[in-house]
Chains A and B, each alone.
Chain A
Amino acid sequence: MRSKGLGVVAFVVAAAVSVIAAFNPGLAQTIKVGAPLPLTGPLSPEGTKLRQGYELWLEELNKAGGIRTAGSRANVELVFYDYQSNTPRAVQLAEKLIVDDKVDFLFSPFGSGAAKAASVVAEKYGVPMLASTASSAEVFDQGYKNLFGLYTDNSTLSEPIADLVTKKSPDIRRVAILARNDLYPMSLANEFEKSAKARGLQVVFFEKYAIGTMDHSAALTQIQGVRPDWIVVTGYINDLILARKQMGDLRLTAPVVTMINGPAYNEWIEATGALSENITTASWFHPVLNYQSKDLFGSTQNFVRLFKDKYGSEPDFTQASGAAVGVILQQAIERAGSTDRDAVRAELGKGNFETFFGLISFGPTGMANSYVPPVYQIQDRQVKVIYPEAVKTGEFRLGVR
């Protein structure tokens, strides 16, 4: 009576193995780029945005007739999978994209943690992977040759703000930092602590909050108790909406309040309303910028216009990052004149890509080091660039009420 069950198991296993083995489509004629995305789960807001960036690039690319390689034109096919905001699944999908879908190149999963995990697979197979949204130096410390990051190091966000703050007012002495207990926000918070200490500021409060926190009032009340001059909160948009709202509830004020990542998003300004006033933030891209570029888009403003036409809203930095890694990969392939991974990797390494996102070159670890992410301040619900001088649209103001 039991042996029948065994037969069934053996049959099912055999069937499964053969079904899995049958999923092996042949090589396509076009250039295939794989992109694991977090379309469901906690990171789905970001995943959706990244996808919009990729798709805008692809659409413009197809209008322009594809990528020019060695006298011919090749179409690009993007292969998406949803990794459900689950890092192991992102890694699994990266491997699937390489082995099973036979993609030529990879765009990384969202954020630092998943990019780091997926870079192991890309390195294993020698597939160049462009990390659209990884900014923690820890991602790039493994000596990998196939990982190229669009974002500059987290310290390039903290340093300019710390400079601005100390130059603006010598009275600002006491810093409070509240960070989400997660790879990127923690790494960012550590950079802010370093930048502050390097300038002789006193870090009077440094605490972490758990992922999924629904109430910041206790931490904020404590911050109020230490009377800081500069408050730094790191986290994602939902954390920062809630934290800003509760700061207002508790009438917690300070000359400078910096929040990353959030205020550069339009949704953040909409959701916080009047409370957005004078919040400082930094990010690698903003639609107020205007770079002339030699890519598909021609200039930042043209990119913004095309984006608005397609999606009806201004692009934020995540959306722009998706399109930016697209144009960088395109330029590298065109320079190499082929889709040969070694040739493209070599071209990526040479850098000097003039894109709507800025001039992109990669440092020795693969992390971009060729541009300075601007610092912004929300003034009258508008995002003003307050640093660097060259692209400035407003003056840094003190006082957050």
Chain B
Amino acid sequence: MLAQIFVNGLLLGALYSAIALGFSLVWGVLNIINILHGSLIVLGAYLAFFLNAWFGISPFAAAPVAAMVLFIPAFLLQLGVINRVLAKPVLITLTLTFGLNLMLNNAMLTVFRADYRKVVLDPPLGVLDIAGLAVPVDRLAAGAGAICLVALVWLLTRTTQIGRAIVAVRMDRDAAALMGIPVATVYALTFALAAAVAGAAGALLSAIFPISPVASAGYLGKAFVICVLGGLGSIPGVVAGGFGLGIIESYGALWLGPEHAGTVAFVLLLLLLLFRPNGLFGRKGFE
């Protein structure tokens, strides 16, 4: 049973990484807590749902589509709205994204209604049996997709011109500006990339979790915990934080009862903030 719970935790952890990736990117580069994030994931999940319902497209194939659909509006939103308050204190930027989230979430509620939906894979992908441990294939595939997504973003920031510009701006905004990097554009690109990643993550999750505008707060909450666990803005940290949380929750539920799974994660988070505010894998020098 312990081994099965470990497998459960790993699979969950991969999904958690996908949930937190875009959030971490925005936090790390733009230094903004993006409250919109949960709703962007839900939006991605809806796109996958309708692509599946209308055209029979698998949610895995829908992931890139969802990413592309979210990219442009997010770019414009950042350039036109969020960019105006970027230099302001946390309170202002956070309140802005909170307001934007109220709007987006209410819009989704009006358009999609609140009923829970879910992509049902037909035929179902089934369950693998590996040494007596049950490994559901849809979770495995979504988890693999999630890891690919993280790897893709990581490669993007390492190997491409845009990626290096993003890293440069994240390290030192002023120096990057002096070197002729168009900071505002880089910020907008980062935000758009994060939204695209959130959309793709939503599509991957659409076969696993019930879809509703109401679900967005849950995703946001998880993203928070994972980012702090893994270290703010660190992309490998997202993977560490995601897997960490997945495993902690699984064993917490086993040893303390399912209703305490969340408590363990929150208490850990608080302790971590007090004693190691850069996260388990974060960089030096906070604030």
Contacts and interface: CB of A to CB of B under 8 A. Distances in A.
Whether chain A touches chain B in the assembled complex (some CB pair under 8 Å): yes
Interface of A: 40-42, 44-45, 47-48, 178, 181, 207-210, 212-219, 221-222, 224-225, 237-238, 241-242, 245, 248-251, 267, 270-274
Interface in B198-245: 208-210, 212-215, 217-218, 221-222
A224 B260 CA distance: 19
Contacts of A48: 113-115
7 contacts: A44-B214, A48-B115, A213-B258, A215-B246, A249-B139, A251-B134, A274-B124
A215 B250 contact: yes
A219 B261 CA distance: 10
B136 interface: yes
B257 interface: yes
A274 B126 CA distance: 12
Contact of B116 (A181, A218, A238): A238
Contacts, number: 126
A217 B209 CA distance: 13
B216 to A, nearest CB: 11
Given A212-B217, A212-B221, 7 more contacts: A40-B109, A210-B259, A215-B8, A217-B8, A221-B5, A267-B117, A270-B118
B72 to A, nearest CB: 28
Contact of A238 (B8, B212, B263): B212
Chain A binding surface, main DSSP class: helix
A271 B210 contact: yes
B1 A225 contact: yes
Given A213-B261, A221-B4, A249 B116 contact: no
Given A213-B262, A245-B208, A218 B254 contact: yes
A53 to B, nearest CB: 15
By CB atoms of chain A within 10 A, which of B5, B114, B138, B254 has the most?
B114
A309 B241 CA distance: 50
Interface string B99-114: 0000000100100011
Contacts of A217: 5, 8, 11-12, 250
A214 B116 CA distance: 14
A245 B15 CA distance: 16
B253 A273 contact: no
B114 A45 contact: yes
Given A44-B214, A209-B259, A274-B124, A214 B5 contact: no
B122 to A, nearest CB: 7
A180 to B, nearest CB: 9
Nearest to B208: A245
A224 B2 CA distance: 12
Contacts of B12: 215, 217
B171 interface: no
A210 B139 contact: no
Nearest to A217: B8
B120 A270 contact: yes
Nearest to B12: A215
A219 B210 contact: no
Given A45-B212, A249-B134, A212 B218 contact: yes
Nearest to B8: A217
B8 A242 contact: no
B58 to A, nearest CB: 15
B118 A241 contact: yes
Contact of B210 (A41, A218, A242, A250): A242
A264 B113 CA distance: 19
A249 B136 contact: yes
B81 interface: no
B251 interface: yes
Contacts of A213: 258, 261-262
Contact of B122 (A221, A222, A273): A273
Interface in B9-48: 9, 11-12
B222 A214 contact: yes
A270 B210 CA distance: 11
B124 A178 contact: no
B92 interface: no
Contacts of A181: 259
